[in-house]
Amino acid sequence: MTIGIGDPLPSAKLTRITSDGLEPVDSATFFKGRRVALFAVPGAFTPTCSARHLPGFVEKTEALRAKGIDEIACTAVNDPFVLGAWSKQNGAEGITMLADGNADFASAIGLDMDGTAFGMGRRSQRYAMVVDDGVVAALYVEAPGEFRVSSAEHLLDTL
């Protein structure tokens, strides 16, 4: 079942890379007590993700914060080292990269997809959501092959 507006985010294991190394992150704990803009991409270094999705959030970071977003986070079914390199290459220091290496989080919220036809295995669908104190306040899931409603610009317009 796909998560919806008003649903609490489940507990799933994510990982982020820090200057001290790998840090496990529990999704339910991460989103508690603040307002987070979360966006998901099918994969770091993939064309739309690298050319449009991540750069849009990098560009709109301050505007999103001005609208009451406490943190901006990105998740992808990649390992934390790949997400760290992608973040560094794109100047995305203001965005928390949450690696979902085994697609545990994407599966737990019902937004995983089968990318095996493209040699990508299980991946996350492309989406953006606003999470208020661990509860989904807004959710925008892209149709396959689309990039509109999960953009930073669209999210900003809806806040």
Residues marked active site are found at 49
Residue 93: name the closest of 109, 73, 110, 69 by CA: 73
Q: 78-81: long-range contacts (C-beta < 8 A, 24 or more apart)?
A: 78/43, 78/44, 79/15, 80/15, 80/16, 80/17, 80/22, 81/17
Look up residue 87 and give its two tokens.
């973040």
